Amino acid sequence: MQVKDIYVSAPGKAILHGEHAVVHGKVALAVSLNLRTYLRLKATNTGKVCVNLPNIDTFLWWDLSELKQLIRHSSGKRDEVQLLDAELVRRLREFLGVTNETLDHCNMASLSFLYIYLLLFGQRELPSLTVSVWSELPTGAGLGSSAAYSVCLAASLLCASGAIPAPLNEWDHTARWCQEDLELINSWAFQGEMIIHGNPSGVDNAVGTWGGMLRFLAGKIIPLSRVPLLRILLTNTKEPRSTKVLVARVKDKINKFPSIMNPVLDSVDAISCTCERVLSEMTCEPITGEHYNILEELIDINQHHLNVMGVGHPALDVLCRLTLARGLHSKLTGAGGGGCGITLLRPETDSSIVQSTIQDLRDHGFDCWETSIGGPGVQQHTPISVKEEILEILNHY
């Protein structure tokens, strides 16, 4: 069968407020991060399926004939897309020669691609195609890069299989899917995430799919109807850290000092709720400096609270200090202990200040990008709506 070419993209994710507190039953706010992952799906007649992931120097192909061997015609229709087809995963791991020891980025990307591809096309003729992916997101930095990949895979392969339509009209540059289609994309992306992460929260793929901001509380994910787009700097301190170790550290501290730490979690909860209220006000009344004053104060307070939880890091202190010296407010985002931080920019923040701040941060060995949070989730692109340098990479294969 012949499929249609498609360009899609999905955003990364940042935690605006509530990281760690969410583990202890408090609200967290997850926002889309407009460092995006772009995917081009191209029909071919090579009798092969190719996956190109130049970010991680990974270029894979399989003959359709060998992939056909992996298909078992199931007795009934799989209605419950939320449940992983464990038997298929087992067969794919065997086919790829993947063990728990060799489960690197490349193998996880192959597994999740082949899983979605085979389940969507397995009951009919397998199409010959090439998928090329380029991401602006650093990997393994807690910014939802694997979810953005899974969302792009789900959207493009669902389109290619005809399960959902391509939403782009001839007069659009970008377009988004309807709610129902987004739910299907999200549920397939979640399966990709399960293959990669084992037991994901579902937040990352939801943000990649819906964009904007999500309220996450006790495992329940609620997309917020309207949020403003906020300019930020995203800084990667490149300090390696283990989320598991950091989560355990916070838990230990709460157990050691419950009367001191539980109020801090309550305060973080109130920060998330206050932030949500202010952001919602910003979409329905004129945005003022006071809105930004409050957002900045919340960032500062939460950063102190995260330090109290023991998930700060000298590199994050440097980030906060350097940006504050230019009047900008920063906090860590995600697990902390190094990793990434976000710095709020105001609409009127001068580009010279932004550029010199970025330079300061790079001089300290950090990676730093000017981007935004609260932007759109997964979308289809015309080629000309893809940044030129990214289009060049995607079209190279």
Binding site for a copy of itself (CB under 8 A): 257, 259-261, 263-264, 266-267, 270-271, 273-274, 297-298, 300-301, 304-305, 307-308, 317, 321
Write the burial class of residue 95 (CB in 10 Å: 0-12 exposed, 13-18 middle, 19+ buried).
Answer: middle
Smallest gap, in angstroms, from Cβ of residue 15 to a copy of itself? 17
* Cβ-based nearer residue to a copy of itself, 245 or 260: 260
Q: How far is the CB of 309 from a copy of itself (least distance, A)?
A: 10
β-pairing verdict for 28-43 and 6-17: antiparallel
- Please return the burial class of 353, using the count of CB atoms within 10 Å of its CB with bins 0-12, 13-18 and 19+: middle
The least CB distance from residue 77 to a copy of itself, in Å, is 49
Cα dist from 392 to 5, 54, 100, 224, 384, whole Å: 16, 12, 35, 35, 11
Q: Which two tokens stand for residue 107?
A: 């193998």
Which residue, 123 or 293, has its beta carbon nearer to a copy of itself?
Answer: 293
Nearest to 233 by CA among 144, 349, 338: 349
Residue in 323, 315, 318 with CA at minimum distance from that of residue 358:
323
Whether 85 and 161 have beta carbons less than 8 Å apart is answered as no
Nearer to a copy of itself, 64 or 301 (CB): 301
Shorter beta-carbon distance to a copy of itself: residue 301 or 353: 301
How many Cβ atoms from other residues are within 10 Å of residue 291's Cβ?
17
User: How crowded is residue 369: how many other Cβ atoms within 10 Å of its Cβ?
Assistant: 16
Residues tagged active-site: 146, 204
Kindly state the tokens that stand for 154: 């789900």
Sequence-separated (6 or more) residues with CB below 8 Å from residue 150: 112, 188, 189, 190, 191, 192, 193, 196, 205, 208
Structure tokens at 216: 């996450």
Q: Pick between residue 17 and residue 231 the one whose CB is nearest to a copy of itself.
A: 17
Q: What are phi and psi of 360, to 5 degrees?
A: -55, -45
CB of 334 to a copy of itself, least distance (A): 19
Element containing residue 213 per DSSP (H, E):
strand 213-217
Taking the least distance from each CB to a copy of itself, the nearer of 201 and 307 is: 307
CB of 14 to a copy of itself, least distance (A): 21
